[in-house]
């Protein structure tokens, strides 16, 4: 049975992540928001530290790459309850995004592509791609939120796959050294033919196009990547090359089951930062939030704050549940989408309402509230929009297929 208290073994990791967020990420938050596309050099030292801890086995879950569930996972050893790398990753990511979402997304070797590799790769691939910095390329022009409609193709030619297509909105697309690209082996087979491939930067036929200018997470680069007759070894296909129509899109979606709780955690970290600062500003203005009195007997600002805090708590618990289920090898597709949908919406609602509650202090650049409001919006969009998550939840609850419920 899940215990919603923070596991004792993760408390040092969470404490360390909070210290990094407080002393490194937040002090540089405004700097790299203003200097869009400038690489945050301060992150190199942090990445080296995390790599060192990982080598020593002391940093399980200290970032996006800590989500792999292999045969040696403790959760497979017996029937007991386990708190593993998924839960650790969610808790540490939440703390880091309390510091800054854009800077976390800019950390070397902690990209969402790393999560894809960790989720789908076999043991040989996991070892071969250990230490790479992988971005994840899914979205295409005209494809929208339905990843199953991607048109980038992968054609087997001898011992290589030939990739052709274009991807947009690739996080860390310029800075990463590898790209995990989703492509179809056979358009006529629909969702079942979609596979992911690891493509090293510098591979002939891979070109990085324009960098996007964005509303938020401006410290993180977002690029367009094109593939033209781009050849990669067939061993770089993640998972099985077989097209299983019965399994459908399930193999590819296993990536999202692990990464969506991470994105939910990003939204929760950003929202918590806004709540904490807003409470301080309210107290300075003479408005005290009293947890021993009904909200209707308190000032309107305090009542609003209590509502926002309760919404945050609900999203937090959903996110912990989704990560815990992954650690215990329980199917969590429904819970991952519920957590992403709830946390994404709560993140946007909380940060915008905090700007409103703080008035001119919230809207100006003196505080970080306006930046957090801008940063949080993307967390309700990428890795599946709010509407897509609600559709997935509805399908799971009603037992409908994608063809039956669109």
- Asked if 316 contacts 261 with a C-beta cutoff of 8 angstroms, the reply is no
Instruction: State how far the Cα of 179 lies from the Cα of 236, in Å rounded to an integer.
Output: 11
The first and second tokens of residue 95, run together, are 């703390």
For tokens 């208290």, the residue is 5
Q: Which of 160, 179, 382, 145 is nearest to 264 (CA)?
A: 382
Q: Give residue 350's pLDDT.
A: 98
- What phi-psi label fits residue 144: left (phi over 0), alpha (psi between -120 and 50 degrees) or beta? left
DSSP state string for 362-389 = HHSSSSSHHHHHHHHHHTTTTTS-HHHH
Element (H, E) at 121: none
Instruction: State how far the Cα of 397 lies from the Cα of 403, in Å rounded to an integer.
Output: 15
For tokens 């909070």, the residue is 18
Give pLDDT tens digits along the chain (406 positions).
677 788 899 999 999 999 999 999 999 999 999 999 999 999 998 887 777 655 545 554 444 444 554 444 444 445 566 878 889 999 999 999 999 999 999 999 887 888 888 888 889 999 999 989 999 999 999 887 777 788 999 999 999 999 999 999 999 999 999 999 999 999 888 888 999 999 999 999 999 999 999 999 999 999 999 999 999 999 999 988 888 765 555 555 677 888 899 999 999 999 999 999 999 999 999 999 999 999 999 999 999 999 999 999 999 999 999 999 998 989 999 999 999 999 999 999 999 999 999 999 999 999 999 999 999 999 999 888 999 999 999 999 999 988 899 8
Q: Give residue 401's pLDDT.
A: 85
Q: 3-class SS at 143?
A: coil
Domain spans of the chain? 8-128, 134-238, 250-398
Burial class of residue 222 (count of CB atoms within 10 Å of its CB; 0-12, 13-18, 19+): buried
Top CATH class of 250-398 equals: mainly alpha
Instruction: State how far the Cα of 379 lies from the Cα of 101, in Å rounded to an integer.
Output: 9
What's the gap between Cα 357 and its chain centre?
28
The first and second tokens of residue 276, run together, are 């904490």
Q: Which of 192, 200, 273 is nearest to 235 (CA)?
A: 200
**CATH code, 134-238:** 2.40.110.10
- Backbone φ and ψ for 170, nearest 5 degrees, come out as -90, 110
Fold of 8-128: Butyryl-Coa Dehydrogenase, subunit A; domain 1 (1.10.540)
Instruction: State how far the Cα of 122 lies from the Cα of 217, in Å rounded to an integer.
Output: 32
Q: DSSP character for 40? A: -
383 is catalytic: yes
Q: What is the pairing mode between strands 134-137 and 178-184?
A: parallel
Instruction: State how far the Cα of 89 lies from the Cα of 84, in Å rounded to an integer.
Output: 9
Instruction: State how far the Cα of 24 lies from the Cα of 32, in Å rounded to an integer.
Output: 12
Whole-structure pTM value: 0.91
Instruction: State how far the Cα of 307 lies from the Cα of 100, in Å rounded to an integer.
Output: 24
Element (H, E) at 209: strand 206-211
What angle do helix axes 333-358 and 386-398 make, rounded to 10 degrees? 140
Catalytic residue among 242, 309, 383, 404: 383
For tokens 């076999």, the residue is 122
């Amino acid at each position: 049975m899940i215990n919603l208290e923070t596991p004792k073994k993760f408390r040092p990791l969470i404490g360390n992540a909070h210290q990094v967020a407080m002393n490194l990420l937040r002090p540089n938050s405004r700097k790299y928001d203003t200097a869009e596309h400038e690489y945050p050099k301060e992150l190199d030292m942090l990445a080296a530290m995390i790599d060192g801890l990982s080598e020593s086995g002391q940093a399980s879950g200290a970032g996006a790459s800590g989500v792999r569930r292999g045969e040696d996972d403790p959760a497979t050893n017996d029937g007991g309850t386990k708190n593993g790398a998924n839960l650790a990753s969610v808790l540490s990511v939440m703390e880091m995004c309390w510091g800054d979402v854009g800077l976390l997304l800019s950390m070397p070797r902690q990209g969402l592509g790393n999560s894809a590799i960790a989720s789908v790769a076999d043991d040989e691939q996991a070892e071969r791609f250990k230490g790479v910095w992988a971005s994840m390329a899914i979205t295409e022009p005209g494809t929208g939120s339905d990843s199953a409609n991607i048109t980038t193709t992968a054609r087997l030619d001898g011992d290589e796959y030939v990739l052709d297509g274009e991807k947009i909105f690739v996080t860390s697309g310029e800075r990463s050294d590898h790209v995990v690209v989703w492509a179809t082996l056979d358009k006529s087979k629909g969702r079942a033919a979609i596979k992911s491939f690891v493509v090293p930067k510098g591979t002939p036929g891979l070109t990085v196009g324009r960098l996007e200018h964005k509303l938020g997470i401006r410290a993180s680069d977002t690029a367009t990547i094109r593939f033209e007759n781009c050849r990669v070894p067939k061993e770089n296909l993640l998972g099985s090359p077989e097209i299983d129509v019965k399994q459908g899109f399930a193999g590819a979606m296993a990536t999202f089951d692990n990464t969506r709780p991470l994105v939910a955690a990003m939204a929760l970290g950003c929202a918590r930062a806004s709540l904490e600062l807003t409470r301080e500003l309210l107290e300075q203005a003479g408005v005290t939030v009293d947890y021993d009195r009904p909200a209707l007997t308190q000032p309107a600002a305090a009542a609003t704050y209590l509502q926002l805090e309760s919404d945050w708590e609900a999203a937090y618990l959903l996110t912990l549940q989704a990560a815990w289920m992954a650690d215990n090898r329980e199917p969590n597709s429904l819970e991952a989408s519920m957590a992403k949908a709830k946390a994404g919406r709560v993140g946007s609602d909380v940060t915008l309402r905090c700007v409103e509650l703080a008035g001119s202090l919230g809207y100006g650049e003196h505080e970080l509230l306006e930046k957090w409001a801008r940063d949080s919006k993307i967390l309700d969009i990428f890795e599946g929009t709010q509407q897509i998550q609600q559709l997935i939840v509805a399908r799971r609850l009603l037992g409908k297929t994608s063809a039956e419920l669109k």
